[in-house]
Structure 1
């Protein structure tokens, strides 16, 4: 968890520094989850129920946005932490660099309590992003938005705050700021969608269920910060952007 200087309040463009915490749940590690989650915490505005192909809710009552979310437990050398991630394709998971760094083992589980075996993890040097390859297939994959959202656009965050049950929260894009934790990254998005420790790596979605960013931190005013989809696309297109994740062993 990384502190920095405090930013002034704002609704469109925020100051270049902020009191931020990375959202891996290092101080909130719960007991291992039950085999099958029994509920989902809804927000006041429901997430889109149509998948990219136009299909609606699956028979088990989960929509595509919820099915693509993955819970991550980072078993380190003498430390445990939790985070979130989402499927990019059937065997690729996107999360944050700080979620997977310094691990001896990554434990992944899906919305229905199924364990997924992690094969390898790579982290980006420029942004707080990571790619995890999986042996087992992930249940659902999203569509990446073509462009970053605008101020005022709706945002839905789907993840596992505190490493517990799958949670859906809603908000809006309230501005943009030069990344206070990685100044060389450039501009990141600011939203008022509620997040908690353990939400790091969660997908942020637009009204059509497309990924518009990746949650990585929040500040003392409750605003959350997103690596925008334009940055994610750019890094994924460059084979040199990611290197093997540091381990603790």
Structure 2
């Protein structure tokens, strides 16, 4: 009769015999079997990653008194201070052999001159083809015709937490640099640098200057565009965020057909599902997004959605929160449909929502207000679903809204902000931009204004 020790010994021999690789170590036969290197991936992608140099001219703020020659003479004849140049540095990735480059919006924002430097040290002038603040992406193109190296845009949907990735860019302007890390998390929200809150988080070192560069997988495919870091010191602490390739593809396709991003409009407001709401709905955990408001005639209403419906999936992807749904629906191609699973009461059903652009039900009639009124320097438009979608305003708002405020203008000094609603001026209701332009040309002794900001009415008064 065998003892327990003998039985264990015989079992161990059987295991080793079944797995000879464990019993007999394999001697490496080449350097490639010894050294793990990302050099082949870098050689493939690095030529397509460029440095982006953007500059803009900033006019000096001048006191109106300097317009008087006698006043200038009193100060020694000095005239208007010269304009100064401001510059920014970032990175970009060539995604088309004609020289089409994707980068971050904040890298080239307000730029009057854009240059790119390739990895082989060639430099070219570039033109801005499209810029989209909502995604923090921009597309620029090299002016000189040529056959440029490109990086293939990959599929960020296949990424998993733990996958190895490389970040290539120009941190701190020191030159092209490669860092390595893993995908730390997916679908990160509340990052605060773009409207579509759905980021790839990575611990690959990302620093200022990496913005707009390439986050690639081990097949050399562009899976994200580094856009932001979490840092208390300004340097990398291993928490970086990249815009997924899904959004990059969407913006690049828009750039090939025009200079404005047109995205689907849901025609509804969504609410997050809290633990209390989940318990009320009988859910095992907080998930999905609740329909909190509908605009009559909008895509959601036409699809049959009702207030209180819970959106659970879209095109087979689970919906965790409104940001997740917004990312999936907002990157659908116009003219198509999105298949959505909803829960109404205790029953679930699937519906299709048309991916349509928001309509401009009222002509925007954009006007730049000039003169000596408190509105001088504002660009105002009539509100419609299209304008509300562009400016991220409540879909049910109406009236006249401030689209832009010129720096240093009377409106900027008064404190007007983008997104302000002009409700009333000296007792006159402002229903159209034409009304505002007419009233702004008057010369009252006192300006009395009613402005709506963040849902609150603000009453202001200024001397004429």
Provide the TM-score with structure 2 as the length reference: 0.39
- Structure 2 residue ranges without an equivalent (≥5): 1-34, 58-84, 232-236, 263-389, 391-406, 408-464
Does 1:47 find its partner at 2:47? no
Q: Take 2:43 and 2:182, find their aligned partners in 1: how far apart are those partners?
A: 21
User: Counterpart in 1 of 2:148?
Assistant: 139
Query: Deviation per CA, 1:62-86, whole angstroms, max 9, x where unpaired?
Result: 7121100101111122311110001
Q: Take 2:208 and 2:142, find their aligned partners in 1: how far apart are those partners?
A: 24
How many positions carry a matched residue from both structures? 191
Q: Take 1:108 and 1:183, find their aligned partners in 2: how far apart are those partners?
A: 24
* Alignment match of 1:71 (pick from 27, 46, 51): 51
| Dislocated runs of 4+, deviation >2 Å | 44-48, 136-139, 234-240
Q: Take 1:83 and 1:140, find their aligned partners in 2: how far apart are those partners?
A: 19
Alignment of 1:130-209 (within 5 A): 130-136=138-144, 137=146, 139-148=148-157, 149-176=159-186, 177-182=188-193, 184-209=195-220
Tell me, yes or no, if the aligned pair for 1:45 and 1:170 is still in contact at 8 Å: no
Tell me, yes or no, if the aligned pair for 1:72 and 1:107 is still in contact at 8 Å: yes
Q: Take 2:225 and 2:217, find their aligned partners in 1: how far apart are those partners?
A: 12
Q: Take 2:203 and 2:36, find their aligned partners in 1: how far apart are those partners?
A: 14
User: Counterpart in 2 of 1:117?
Assistant: 125
Tell me, yes or no, if the aligned pair for 1:179 and 1:185 is still in contact at 8 Å: no
1:205 Cα deviation from its structure 2 partner: 0.2
User: Counterpart in 1 of 2:238?
Assistant: 222
Tell me, yes or no, if the aligned pair for 1:64 and 1:140 is still in contact at 8 Å: no
Cα distance change, pair 64–126 in 1 and its aligned pair in 2 (3 A): same
Task: Please tell me whether Structure 1 or Structure 2 has the larger radius of gyration of its CA atoms.
Answer: 2
User: Counterpart in 2 of 1:31?
Assistant: none
1:184 Cα deviation from its structure 2 partner: 3.5
Does 1:241 find its partner at 2:232? no
1:179 Cα deviation from its structure 2 partner: 4.5
Q: Take 1:129 and 1:47, find their aligned partners in 2: how far apart are those partners?
A: 27
Structure number with higher relative contact order (C-alpha < 8 Å, ≥ 6 residues apart) = 1
- Structure 1 residue ranges without an equivalent (≥5): 1-43, 51-61
SS of equivalent residue, structure 1 residue 173: strand
1:121 Cα deviation from its structure 2 partner: 3.8
Q: Take 1:96 and 1:156, find their aligned partners in 2: how far apart are those partners?
A: 18
Does 1:108 find its partner at 2:99? no
SS of equivalent residue, structure 2 residue 54: strand
1:187 Cα deviation from its structure 2 partner: 1.2
Structure having the higher helix fraction is 2
